[in-house]
Amino acid sequence: MAPEGANADPLVRLRAELTRYPGLLIAFSAGVDSAFLLAAAMRALGTDRVLAVTALSPSLPDAERTYAREFTALVGARHIEATTDEMQRAGYRENSTSRCYFCKAELLDVISGHLDGLPPGSRVATGTNADDLVAGFRPGIRAADERGAVTPLADAGLSKQQIRQTAREWGLPVWNKPQAACLSSRVAYGIEISPQRLARVEAAEVALRQTLDDCGVSSHNVRVRDLGLQARIEVDNDLATRPGPWRDAVVAAVVAAGFPQAWIDPQGFRSGSMNEGLPATR
């Protein structure tokens, strides 16, 4: 529910939304949105009324786990890690188009157990922003709605661009961090999710970034999409069709990480490209 003064500045609306709650448990993935939400909540409520919880599972890259620890230390936030076990949910392992629903359900069911560390009446909050509400296929939002999670950024009407801009103004290093969805989002629907498959994707993306660096080529966003027996490599759009020896090098690096075949997508990076063609529904 949006706060009063819906025509006010988005940051004014955000503060009004945040101060509605005695405390907030932030589902902290170390992404731009949840990091900004954490910083904003601490400004509005103070350190003692905010707790960041990061879910540890095979779907969270090691680099994101490290970043979560570094960012919370930087801003002085209280931070704990909670192990989730979405692999035990058949709906997640089977990797249907509803996979994100089961993943988000597991996440929120686990981290909500840490609300005891906050004042009575505190709520779990996610980093869902205003763009997410109109972005199309997002079954994870439905799982969060069913569990009563609050979405202060979306309720204040903050877009991704506004979040990045404000994070920059606040001096938060996350402002230009590349998008970093969970590793399972790289796997084509219908291919069973396993820790080994996610580890292969993670290793391939690490190798991809390192090889680009070694070749003196820069790509802000990279993805290795697991299509089963082959991998689709996504890099920044202006790089995707650029010729050069880097192309063979990155394909070789991804193959060396365990994929039988790999190729570079000429369309370049698209957030949520595995959802292309799916109906716009939660």
Cβ–Cβ under 8 Å, residues 85 and 105: no
Per-residue model confidence (pLDDT) at position 181: 84
The verdict on 69 and 156 lying in the same domain is: yes
Amino acid 260 reads P
User: Which of the pair, 137 or 231, is modelled with greater confidence?
Assistant: 231
The verdict on 172 and 191 lying in the same domain is: no
The verdict on 125 and 142 lying in the same domain is: yes
Tokens of 12: 């004014």
- 1 lies in a domain? no
pLDDT in tens, 164-207: 999 999 999 999 999 888 999 999 999 999 999 999 999 999 99
Per-residue model confidence (pLDDT) at position 6: 53
Confidence grade of residue 113 (pLDDT, cut at 50, 70, 90): very high
The verdict on 153 and 240 lying in the same domain is: no
pLDDT averaged over the chain? 93
* pLDDT exceeds 90 at position 136: no
d(Cα 180, Cα 254) in Å, to the nearest integer? 19
- 4 lies in a domain? no
The verdict on 217 and 167 lying in the same domain is: no
* pLDDT exceeds 50 at position 1: no
Per-residue model confidence (pLDDT) at position 271: 79
The verdict on 161 and 197 lying in the same domain is: no
Domain boundaries, position 139: 10-176
Domain end marker among 176, 203, 231: 176
- 217 lies in a domain? yes
**Ramachandran angles phi, psi of 133, nearest 5°:** -70, -20
Q: Which residue has the tokens 């909050």?
A: 125
Helix H or strand E encompassing 264 = strand 261-264
CATH number at residue 169: 3.40.50.620
The verdict on 117 and 65 lying in the same domain is: yes
The verdict on 168 and 80 lying in the same domain is: yes
Helix axes 32-45, 160-169, angle to 10 degrees: 60
The verdict on 219 and 165 lying in the same domain is: no
Q: Which whole number is the average pLDDT over 59-74?
A: 96
- 282 lies in a domain? no
The verdict on 247 and 124 lying in the same domain is: no
- 3 lies in a domain? no
Domain end marker among 134, 158, 176: 176
Number of structural domains in the chain: 2
Computed from CA positions of residues 77, 163, 234, 260, in that sequence, does the dihedral angle turn out positive or negative? positive
The verdict on 47 and 68 lying in the same domain is: yes
The pTM of this model reads: 0.91
Domain end marker among 141, 159, 176: 176
Per-residue model confidence (pLDDT) at position 277: 54
Q: Which whole number is the average pLDDT over 62-83?
A: 97
pLDDT in tens, 2-57: 444 555 799 999 999 999 999 999 999 999 999 999 999 999 999 999 999 999 99
The verdict on 52 and 86 lying in the same domain is: yes
